[in-house]
Amino acid sequence: MHAQRGLWLFLVPSGVMLALVLVYPLGYAIYLSFFNYYLGDQPRFVGFANYVSLLQDQRFWSSLRTTVILVSASVTLQFVLGLAVAFGLYKLTFGAKALNVLMFLPHVVTPVVAALFLRWIFMGRWGLIDSILIGFNIFPPDWLGTPGWARLVVVLAESWQFTPFMILVLYAGLNTVDQSQIESARMDGAGNWTLLTQVMLPAIKPLIIFVLAIRIMDAFRFFDTIYVLTAGGPGTATETVTIYTYAIAFRLLEVGRASALGVLTLLISAMAIGLVVLVLHRRDRGVV
């Protein structure tokens, strides 16, 4: 096909853009991660010192632990709830479209605004929950000011925004499952639970792997919600790696060290996704 020649020219504008604004800054960040560099000062080359000191930093490990807890709790909740609702919508013979659109709204709301909406629910004294409870003379805990509750609120806030995403994708997936497969399972007397777990889920396995990988990678870098809801607090109870990186870079202005932490985050999230894909694939082979 001679028309194919010259096709690569179409890639040039995006390519230049990505090279200049994405790849070059990324390389620059990796370069900076080897320097002791306070913004405004002269950078000083320190080799791997930033990485070594981060690996010995208690706060780094605790932020990593917080990230893993928050990501696994919220992605699990979103997936289980999302699947339940998606299957419910699939079974529903009327009104599923309209409900799907309505329950989807939280997902497209600006994340910062969404976080504020949730803050006004959980806010002490005047928030929706507290003012109802206090109306009944029940005095609730300080949701955003107690480490355990604050983590739960962050998980709920994430799930409020991202369960609809799971629902939409899984609902679309369930609708692509071959009807004849479902019919034949029904003939064999399969109930709803067997139908879902033995027939439908295996059929949409690639979609599930894809959506979990996307969610984990996005959840790993979530920032907006926590920044507005708790800013990492109380103390460092909800401080994720991203929030910690932000604090180092833009509050302490230790740009070199923050870059090193960013590079570590990239490596860790790549490993996490690799692990998920590997585990789900392995199980796949085990069944077959």
Partner 1 sequence: MRPKPHTQMILFLALCGFTVVQLTPIIWAFMVSIKQPVDAFATPPLLIFEPTFQFHYEVWVERGFVSFLVNSLIIAIATVCISVPIGTMSAYALSRMRGGKANTILFGLLAMRMFPHILLAIPFFVLASFIGLIDTHLAMILALVAINQPFTIWLMRSFFLDVPIELDEAACIDGCNLWQTFTQVALPVVRPGLWVTSLFSLLLAYNEFLFALVLTGPNSKTLPVAIAEYGAEDINYWSLSAAAAIGIMLPIVVFMMLMQRHLARGLAMGAVKG
Residue 110 binds to partner 1 (criterion: CB under 8 A)? yes
Helices within 92-200 (DSSP H only) = 96-108, 111-122, 128-135, 147-174, 179-187, 192-194
Q: Identify residues 200-219 at the interface with partner 1 (CB under 8 A).
A: 210, 214, 217-218
Using CB under 8 A, which of 76, 131, 184, 198 touches partner 1?
Answer: 131
User: How far is Cα 37 from Cα 28, in angstroms, rounded to an integer?
Assistant: 13
* Residue 191 CA: distances (Å) to CA of 13, 172, 286: 54, 21, 24
Name which position in 95, 141, 145, 148 contacts partner 1 (CB under 8 A). Answer: 95
Residue type, 174: L
Rounded distance between C-alpha atoms, residue 266 and residue 270, angstroms: 6
Decide whether 44 or 288 has the Cβ nearer to partner 1.
44
User: Judged by CB under 8 A, how many residues of this single chain contact partner 1?
Assistant: 94
Nearer to partner 1 among residue 172 and residue 279 (C-beta): 172
Site for partner 1 in 18-37 (CB under 8 A): 18, 20-23, 25-26, 28-29, 32
223 binds partner 1 (CB under 8 A): yes
CB of 257 to partner 1, least distance (A): 10
Within 264-283, the residues that bind partner 1 by CB under 8 A are: 265-266, 269-270, 273
Tally of CB atoms within 10 A around 194: 14
Residues 6 or more apart in contact with residue 36 via CB below 8 angstroms: 43, 44, 45, 46, 49, 50, 256, 257
| In the complex, minimum distance from the CB of residue 286 to partner 1, in angstroms, rounded to a whole number | 27
* Per-residue contact flags (x/-) with partner 1 for residues 148 to 187, judged by CB under 8 A: ------------xx-xxx--xx--x-------------x-
* Under rule CB under 8 A, residue 14 binds partner 1: yes
CB 230 within 8 A of CB 14: no
Query: Binder to partner 1 among 46, 67, 119, 201 (CB under 8 A)?
Result: 119
Tell me the closest approach of the beta carbon of residue 109 to partner 1, in angstroms.
5
Is the Cα torsion angle 219, 220, 223, 227 positive or negative in sign? positive
Cα gap 166→107, rounded to integer Å? 10
Applying CB under 8 A, among 99, 152, 209, 280 the residue interacting with partner 1 is 99
Is 164 within 8 Å of 104 (Cβ atoms)?
yes
Nearest to partner 1 of 52, 214 (CB atom): 214
Closest to partner 1 by CB, 73 vs 156, is: 156
